[in-house]
Chains A and B, each alone.
Chain A
């Protein structure tokens, strides 16, 4: 289910200078949005799997880029999700 305010924050981070501001002081930026406790926990933990179902995949990628995560690590975390999904499917099979 799309989380509007999480999406809005990811979208706003595209503005010039916004990514640098976020990397310098995450909490200051997070305070501008009425984010749910669950989303805040996931953001603070860089939890790709917890955030992925709540935001458009392109915005998710943009967010983690703006937050300073490398493409390689982001892809690694996504692929770990894929393994979890595959494992669960096998488990139910």
Chain B
């Protein structure tokens, strides 16, 4: 049987890649240290497969067909199309068998994800992978979560998705080690009149709720305040999925930094499994 070996969260501000050389040295040091620690923790799990949760930033999907949850079932995924990510690998190995098992488990349990046999993984997926500098990249099973265009999945449904991921891992018959990485968040505002605003108070309340673990206060907080904390803040949905997958027992914050130089309240964390 597959084993659930770790759940993690990481911000993915595109300027971390696009403007890396222009960032102050102190910012680069902080980012390097935090991604390195996240990578150390993920590498220690010896995960064979990494389920990665991220928004799709208008890379694979458009208004013609916009899934709320899409599972990437391809054996390979394309690397990021953004020019500022050109140095990252162009082809990223997936795990078609596990991804199909995840999709089937979801459908059997009355969830309705879409599936894609060919995804390009944009900066949302690839910045943490690139910056963690893992000695060995696990096979990536991407799960695109709509964090971008309303209507989006409810926080309550994200919790249900997390529990479903844990059940799908537990029911997979192959002896593999599976981890989860939630990419995105915390607060940020992109292309809105508040662009650049970071809601540190929201972020810290959010972190406290994840640390304490209980689901009801987390749902209450996010339902009440996530919308006002900036459009990018919707990516916290991915953290909620990872949280519930890890049985909502609370997480260990690696670091939180208000980083206006990349427009994002940046956080890194790992959950207690």
Contacts and interface: CB of A to CB of B under 8 A. Distances in A.
Interface of A: 2, 4, 7-8, 11, 14, 52, 56-62, 74-75, 78-79, 81-82, 85
B41 interface: no
A59 B193 contact: no
Contacts of A81: 193
Interface stretch (B2-10, B56-64, B211-219): B56-64
B62 A8 contact: yes
Given A56-B58, A59-B191, A74-B195, 13 more contacts: A7-B62, A14-B81, A52-B192, A57-B231, A58-B148, A59-B58, A61-B195, A75-B195, A78-B194, A78-B195, A81-B193, A82-B194, A85-B193
A52 B57 CA distance: 17
Given A14-B58, A57-B231, A2 B63 contact: yes
B191 A60 contact: yes
A15 to B, nearest CB: 9
Given A4-B63, A7-B63, A57 B190 contact: yes
Contacts of B196: 75
B57 A82 contact: no
A78 B191 contact: yes
Given A57-B231, A58-B57, A11 B193 contact: no
Interface residues of B, number: 16
Interface string B153-193: 00000000000000000000000000000000000001111
B191 A61 contact: yes
Contacts of B195: 61, 74-75, 78-79
A4 B66 CA distance: 13
A62 B58 contact: yes
Contacts of B81: 14
A40 B5 CA distance: 53
B205 interface: no
B62 A11 contact: yes
A14 B192 CA distance: 20
B149 interface: yes
Interface in B21-58: 57-58
Given A75-B195, A75-B196, A61 B190 contact: yes
Contacts of A74: 195
Interface in B141-155: 148-149
Interface string B226-265: 0000010000000000000000000000000000000000
Closest 10 CB pairs of A and B: A57-B191, A61-B191, A82-B193, A81-B193, A60-B191, A78-B195, A57-B192, A78-B193, A11-B62, A75-B195
B135 to A, nearest CB: 32
B193 A8 contact: no
A58 B231 CA distance: 9
A35 B58 CA distance: 20
Nearest to B189: A57
A81 B149 CA distance: 21
Contacts of A75: 195-196
A52 B190 CA distance: 12
Contacts of A82: 193-194
Contacts of B148: 56, 58
30 contacts: A2-B63, A7-B62, A7-B63, A8-B62, A8-B63, A14-B58, A14-B59, A14-B81, A52-B191, A52-B192, A56-B58, A56-B149, A57-B190, A57-B191, A57-B192, A58-B58, A58-B190, A58-B231, A59-B191, A60-B191, A61-B190, A61-B191, A61-B195, A62-B58, A75-B195, A78-B191, A78-B192, A78-B194, A78-B195, A81-B193
